[in-house]
Amino acid sequence: MKLLVSKDADLFNPESVKEVIARQETWTARKWQAVKAYSAFARLFGLNWTPPRYKPVQKLPFIPTEEEIDQLIAGCSRQMATFLQLLKETGARCGEAFNLKWTDVDLVNNTVRITPEKSSNPRIFKISNKLATMLANLPKNSLKVFSYKDKFYLRKAFLKQRKRVAFKLGNPRILQIHFHTFRHWKATTEYYKTKDILHVMQLLGHKNIKNTLIYTQLVNVNENEYICKVAKTLQEATQLIEAGFEYVTDMDGYKLFRKRK
């Protein structure tokens, strides 16, 4: 209820609170959240409160390119890069990844188990060899995988490192990437590849498909733009498949792979 913390507001005077919320120079969504929070406060203390109506405007989330995501990951510290790679591969929420324990990680079978937030469903994911190696190289000093004191310090470290990477690469779009952006990106790319909304719903742990349908609007319209790679050896082919490339054909003894941009 940060919106309501003001010397001008009397929390036990609903009309005063209503006036303070109305004066806030902020997004409608923030005002809507403040009304929702104060409504709970009013019920708790038996206050007579007629909440004002604020309807948040729904906006489509920003979806970066995979190259931009990978550049951000590569430019971060070892622990932050591992955290972001986990978000990229699983689409987990920030809090779900933050609470990951070593007992949730199976480096023999390359899987991680996600304990859900917000009444979602639990999930298990197969992770890449790259992420498995990154996890294995982290110190195991506690029950939790990531040693940040709390999510405030996690976000503070992320914002600092993100700013540095964006400045170094001269790409302000990277500043639009937040933790939840990785979840949006994962859901969008999975729907783009499979056109299976139920698969995306299961991946995100949603219980209501209405929360998943937004990703049908975010698919890349450049359907004919590909990155092409050539594999000369079995190891190179394996690495391309792990990186999300799909096999196309053989030509002159080489295997051709492609991945949408």
The whole-angstrom separation of Cα 99 and Cα 234 is 37
Q: Mind listing the pLDDT tens digit for each residue in 71-120?
A: 999 999 999 999 999 999 999 999 999 999 999 999 999 999 999 987 88
Radius of gyration of the chain (CA): 22
Note the pLDDT of residue 223. 55
Provide the whole-model pTM.
0.69
pLDDT in tens, 40-59: 888 888 888 888 887 766 67
Residues 6+ apart with CB under 8 A from 114: 90, 92, 96, 97, 100, 104, 122, 123, 124, 125, 205
For 33, half-sphere exposure in the C-beta direction (CA atoms, 13 angstrom radius) is 10
**220 has a pLDDT exceeding 70:** no
CB 87 within 8 A of CB 183: yes
Q: How confident is the model at residue 26 (pLDDT cuts 50, 70, 90)?
A: low
* Cα torsion 235, 239, 244, 248: sign: negative
Mean pLDDT of 14-26: 79
Helices (H) and strands (E) in the chain, counts: 10, 6
Phi/psi region, residue 95 (left: phi>0; alpha: psi -120 to 50; beta: rest), is alpha
For 44, residues 6+ apart whose C-beta sits below 8 A from its C-beta are none
Name the percent of the chain lying above pLDDT 70: 90
Provide the CA 187 distance to its chain's centre, in angstroms. Answer: 9
Packing angle, helices 151-169 and 66-74, rounded to 10: 110
Domain 66-217 fold: hpI Integrase; Chain A (1.10.443)
pLDDT exceeds 90 at position 127: yes
pLDDT of res. 5: 46
Q: Mean of the pLDDT values across residues 145-170?
A: 96
What percentage of the chain reaches a pLDDT higher than 90?
51
Domains of the chain, residue spans: 2-45, 66-217, 226-260
Residue type, 191: Y
Average confidence score pLDDT of the chain: 88
Comparing 207 with 124, the larger pLDDT belongs to 124
Residue 242 and residue 130 in contact, taking contact as beta carbons nearer than 8 Å = yes
Give CA–CA dist 19/167, Å, rounded.
41
Task: Reduce the DSSP state of residue 227 to 3 states and report it.
Answer: strand
Mean pLDDT lowest among 9-13, 31-35, 159-163, 237-241: 9-13
